[in-house]
Structure formats: structure tokens, C-alpha cells
Amino acid sequence: MPYLILAAVLGSIVLVGVLAIVLAIVLAAKKKGQRPPDDVPYTVGGPVPQSYAKRRGEAGESAVNELLGKDEDGVRYVFPDYLIAWENGSAEIDHILVEERGVFVIETKTYAGTVYGSEEEREWRCVTRGGNVHTFYNPLMQSRKHAEVIRRILPKAVPVYPLVVFADGDISSLNCPFVFSLPLLKGAIASFPAGKLDRGEIRGVARGIAEAQGGITKEEHAARVQRRTRMIELGVCPLCGCRLERCDGGMRCSSYPKCKFVKKN
């Protein structure tokens, strides 16, 4: 009888031992199967991924689009993402608005942070909350260039106004005319003198702008910008192919004044 009890006790011990080993193996296997998550968020305050910046930009442009409203025959025409061939290159304009006050050429910017700059400064800065500084080309200068391109295709009497709208970002430190935040854009447009164009003229101007647009794709635009930059880097005039020479504050075409190409530093 004592042998039987001893056998039962020993059996139980062995059984518990085996169960413990099996449990340890199962737990180890389960732990091995767990992996760190792949979608680790990017560092706060670090560089914003390109796709995110692009989405921001697109959201800003669609907000402006919504604000400008729908086309209305003889009253208002809006041209978003307007591409036009120009000086052996091309210009991409975020929005053109045609209405009774004239033509508004609008450059949309979307930046997260505080924007600093002035009318004369070539480079503007955006400082993020994390302290990162991003510099970009003065958007009013950019918009003025675009307005010049549009002026050339329209009768001289049509007023063309370059504007800049910030769909995001703090621009309260800016001291620059013709630059507005999104909520102020409509009021800004309304502050220009009304009644400059009648319904027929509005239609005519819009037709002229629509006809000048044709025949260039986004890819062609990008290729033209690249070609133009490369020609200037090589010291070749992108307008006529002549040699470029140094002049006060930049480069100009050696066949000046016959060719008017000038590139400011």
C-alpha cells in the first residue's frame, strides 16, 4: 500500500513538471510571434513627409476653389491650376478669377508655422512650432510674375491684380500688401474698385484666358522648368539661345536690348 501512494505522488510530480514545460514552450512561441508595429509615427517637429506636404497644398487649393465659387455666365469665371506657355518655359498659376473688378491672379500657400517676410525680400521664412525654419521664394514676387504673363495676353485696359493667400499658417507677423489669410480673401477682393468690366467684357476676357491656356500638360510644364533652369546654369539664354552675361544684380542675354531676358540674383 505505501508503494502505491509513493507511485501516485511521483506520478503527479512528473505530470506537473511536463505541464509546466509545455506551458513554457507555448508562451515562448507566442512571444516570438509578436513584432513591433510598422506604422511608427514620424518624429514630432521633424521633417514632414513629402506626401503629407503635398496633401496639405492640395487641401489649401481646394479651400480657395470653394471660396471663389462656381462659374456664372458673364459674372464670374474661375480657372484653377492654370498652365500657360511663356518665354520658352511655362507658368503654373494656382487660380485665376475673372469678374467685374478685373482679373485676380492668386498664388496659394500652405505652411504650418509663423511666416516672416516683406514685399522686397526675395526669400521668406516659415518657422514651425518645433523651431524648424523653412525658406521659400517670395510668393508676391511669384504672383506678380504670373500677373505679368496674364497681362500680356489681355487688352491693356483690363486690370490684373496679383494676390497671395495663405490657406494655413500664421501671417500676422507679415507686413506685405496683397497677401491675405484664407478668411480675408473674399473681403480683400471686394475692396478693389467694382464695375471695371461689363458682362460682355468679362466673357471676352475669360475666353482669352481659356484660349491662351491650351496644349500644355503638367509633365510638359515640369520638363520646361527643368530645361530652362539647365540652360541658365549653362549660361545660355532660354529665350534666344545667345550667351548670358553678368549684369548689375544678375545675368542678362548678351544680345540685350534685342532680347529682353534678365535673371536677377
The stretches of 127-253 forming alpha helices (DSSP H) are 139-152, 185-190, 199-213, 218-233
Tell me the closest approach of the beta carbon of residue 65 to Zn ion, in angstroms: 37
66 or 233: whose CB is closer to Zn ion? 233
Assess 237 for contact with Zn ion (CB under 5 A): yes
Q: Does 262 bind Zn ion (CB under 5 A)?
A: no
Grid look-up 485676380 returns 104
Nearer to Zn ion, 112 or 242 (CB): 242
Is residue 236 close enough to count as binding Zn ion by CB under 5 A? Answer: no
259 binds Zn ion (CB under 5 A): yes
Which residue's C-alpha cell is 479651400? 63
* Omega before residue 257 within 30° of 0, cis: yes
- Near Zn ion by CB under 5 A: residue from 240, 247, 251, 262: 240
Identify the bridge partners of residue 85 per DSSP, sorted by sequence position. Answer: 90
Closest CB to Zn ion among residues 197, 237: 237
Rg (CA), the chain: 32
Residue 251 binds Zn ion, judged by CB under 5 A: no
CB of 240 to Zn ion, least distance (A): 3
Assigned C-alpha cell, 194: 467694382
53-141-55 Cα angle (round to 5):
15
Q: Does 124 bind Zn ion (CB under 5 A)?
A: no
Q: How far is residue 9's CA from residue 94's CA, in Å, rounded to a whole number?
A: 86
Residue 235: CB minimum distance to Zn ion, A: 12
Nearest approach in angstroms of CB 254 to Zn ion is 7
Contact assessment for residue 113 and residue 148, using Cβ atoms and an 8 Å cutoff: no
The minimum distance between CB 237 and Zn ion, in angstroms, equals 3
Please identify, among the stretches 97-105, 107-115, 206-214, 242-250, the one whose residues bind Zn ion according to the rule CB under 5 A.
Answer: 242-250
Answer yes or no: are the C-beta atoms of 83 and 95 closer than 8 Å: no
Pairwise CA distance, residues 210 & 145, whole Å: 19
- Considering only 188, 242, 247, 251, the residue that binds Zn ion (CB under 5 A) is 242
Query: Interface with Zn ion includes 253 (CB under 5 A)?
Result: yes
d(CA 159, CA 196): 8
Residue 239 interacts with Zn ion (CB under 5 A): yes or no: yes
Total interface residues for Zn ion by CB under 5 A: 7
Of 53 and 236, which has the nearer Cβ to Zn ion? Answer: 236
**Residues 263, 206: Cα–Cα separation, whole Å:** 31
Q: Contact positions toward Zn ion, by CB under 5 A?
A: 237, 239-240, 242, 253, 259, 261
